[in-house]
Amino acid sequence: MMTVQLWTYLFVALSFGLYIGIAIWSRAGSTNDFYVAGSGVSPLANGMATAADWMSAASFISMAGLISFLGRDGSFYLMGWTGGYVLLALLLAPYLRKFGQYTVPDFIGDRYYSRSARLVAVVCAITVSFVYVCGQMQGAGIVFSRFLEVDITTGVFIGMGIVFFYAVLGGMKGITYTQVAQYCVLIFAYLVPAIFISMMMTGNPIPQLGFGSELNADYGGGYLLDRLDNLSAELGLAPYTEGQRSTQDVFFITAALMFGTAGLPHVIIRFFTVPGVRAARKSAAYALIFIALLYTTAPAIAAFAKTNLLTTVSNTEYQALPEWFYTWEQTGLIQFSDLNGDGAVQYTGDASTNELTVNRDIMVLANPEIAGLPDWVIALVAAGALAAALSTAAGLLLVISTAVSHDLLKRSLMPGITEKQELLFARIAIFIAILIAGYFGINPPGFVAEVVAFAFGLAAASFFPAIVTGIFFQRMNRQGAISGMVAGFLFTSGYIAYFKLIAPESNSAEHWLFGISPEGIGALGMLLNMLVALIVCRLYAAPPQHIRELVDSIRTPGDR
């Protein structure tokens, strides 16, 4: 009989073999292939690749886990990320595709007719991508740690090796078709256990409907959310359906995630891989459908997982806990400290008496085990989580390598390099980027989704205003755009660094500016960016005539 570990080895080996095979088949032979897959990807394939690129380890592993513990407050991840994608698809993607360059720094450098603007955009793109990719490496390490029974550090190294191979070999062309396969793996792995658990707990095979259904008698009856609220109240935990964060913080986090989404370079670059503007619009619509399959399921998984955890673990004798608890305990991601010495697990909302510590990032991964699903389903979730983490990591690493080789070297510092040399520098940049990302994956500053939220905030504060005004405001000049990007980026990065790295003991609502957490400060940074840009641009001459004509041509209907 096959164990969970054997099933995991099988699924991971098959999926990794598929990814590597695709990378070899579609290896890049030119910079056009490496950067934008030759701009020949079909809208359907690009929609799936965009969804895989979009649904990172934060979406697959961490989002439902955070919702499990934040309850209603966790909805800002759902609203911000889905709303942001709609904003990107409708407001920015078609125009950027019509502009017809490789990267976001390309757009900013040419639109603002400035090498300095390009360099500022390069720094922002590299920083945002590094912060984001650290979360993916962290997620991969967690999966490997549990399911292949290696330590998290070793798990991160394995993930680094796999991503390096197919990102370096295939570039955007290889990554695109690999991400199509990864989307199929991750969405199947996410939905199968959700359907199983929904059937077990509510009798309804559709998790989205099971979320609002009554529980079976074995689970105590009553509506799921009512049951969860009652369980939380009994243990002294915050009610699941009541928010604990301030209204302004929830608003700013949602806004930071939304506008950050619309400014993320690794998602924007996906729309340069299709043949034209019409194809970009179609691929955006396909991607929204593919993304919705996971995002509408996440709240149900969160509620199922939290209910199962509370009913299984709380007030249970440690020696009588199910096998999954001890297995996860070995990873250090769930911990029991018998404070009162009675041998039973006391899980409460009072920090002084609580004996159970649960890492939010394990909830999706442990959910099938908690619910007692078959071993092959448990292993499938591991393969899906790895697909989510590695697909996004590959896209981010490509942004970093492109920013270094194309935007920094080819377009700024070393314009005379050949295409072969440019490809070599791109691959060297990926290697260095993976080493740095691996370090921060091993030493993360927070949960996966929290780390990713910082990347979104930085993208919102730096890129979004420059891109929007670059498309829709002719009068915006290079001085205004550069000043705005620098102000927004420095303010946001400084705020996050202070509360997360310099003075983490001060990271509480009474010390936050206007009550806004580090996860939401990017929205305020975006407003600062916009304000500075609009003021400074009025102090200098309007852009040259050919730039104003370029802005008009981007917005003129037509395909290109």
CB 138 within 8 A of CB 448: yes
Record the pTM: 0.79
Angle, helices 224-234/298-313, rounded to nearest 10 degrees: 40
Report the b/e string of 492-512 with b at 16+ CB within 10 A: bbebbeebbeeeeeeeeeeeb
Which of 122, 132, 129, 203 lies closest to 404 in space, CA to CA?
Answer: 122
pLDDT at res. 448 = 54
**Residue 334 host element (H or E):** strand 334-336
Burial (0-12, 13-18, 19+ Cβ within 10 Å), 13: exposed
Which of 555, 549, 559 lies closest to 113 in space, CA to CA?
Answer: 549
Domain ranges of the chain: 4-555
SS3 433: helix
Which of 280, 272, 262 lies closest to 406 in space, CA to CA?
Answer: 272
336 phi/psi in degrees, rounded to 5:
-120, 125
pLDDT at res. 487 = 96
Q: C-alpha distances in angstroms, 48 versus 15, 24, 180, 190?
A: 16, 20, 5, 15
Q: How far is Cα 93 from Cα 85, in angstroms, rounded to an integer?
A: 10
Give the CATH superfamily of 4-555.
Sodium/glucose cotransporter (1.20.1730.10)
Q: CB neighbours of 84 closer than 8 A, spacing ≥ 6?
A: 257, 258, 259, 260, 261, 262, 456
Which of 167, 170, 150 lies closest to 158 in space, CA to CA?
Answer: 150
Q: C-alpha distances in angstroms, 97 versus 39, 283, 381, 401?
A: 10, 12, 35, 20
Q: Number of C-alpha atoms within 13 angstroms, CB side, residue 396?
A: 34
Which of 504, 468, 513, 491 lies closest to 246 in space, CA to CA?
Answer: 513
Cα-Cα end-to-end distance for the chain? 57
Written as six digits, the tokens of 533 are 């840009």
**Residue 455 host element (H or E):** helix 448-472
Q: How far is Cα 64 from Cα 44, in angstroms, rounded to an integer?
A: 27
Q: How far is Cα 189 from Cα 3, in angstroms, rounded to an integer?
A: 18
Which amino acid, 434?
A: I
pLDDT at res. 484 = 95
Written as six digits, the tokens of 421 are 């040399």
CB 309 within 8 A of CB 369: no
pLDDT at res. 85 = 80
pLDDT at res. 168 = 64
Other C-beta atoms within 10 Å of 88: how many? 27
CB 211 within 8 A of CB 68: no
Written as six digits, the tokens of 436 are 């740095």
Other C-beta atoms within 10 Å of 261: how many? 24
pLDDT tens sequence for the chain (560 residues) = 577 778 877 887 787 777 777 767 766 555 555 555 555 677 888 888 888 777 766 677 778 888 888 888 888 888 887 888 888 877 787 787 777 666 778 888 888 988 888 888 888 888 887 777 777 777 777 777 766 677 777 878 887 777 777 666 656 666 777 778 878 888 888 898 899 899 988 989 999 998 888 888 888 788 888 888 888 888 778 888 887 788 888 899 899 988 988 777 767 777 777 777 778 778 888 888 888 888 889 899 988 888 888 888 877 888 888 888 888 888 777 888 888 888 888 888 777 788 888 877 778 888 888 888 888 888 888 888 777 777 677 767 777 777 777 777 777 777 777 777 877 887 788 788 888 878 877 776 555 556 677 888 888 999 889 999 998 898 999 999 999 999 999 999 999 888 887 888 888 888 898 889 888 999 999 999 999 999 999 999 999 998 888 888 887 755 55
At residue 499's C-alpha, the angle toward residues 396 and 468, to 5°, is 45
Q: What is the DSSP letter of 309?
A: H
pLDDT at res. 533 = 96
Burial (0-12, 13-18, 19+ Cβ within 10 Å), 539: exposed
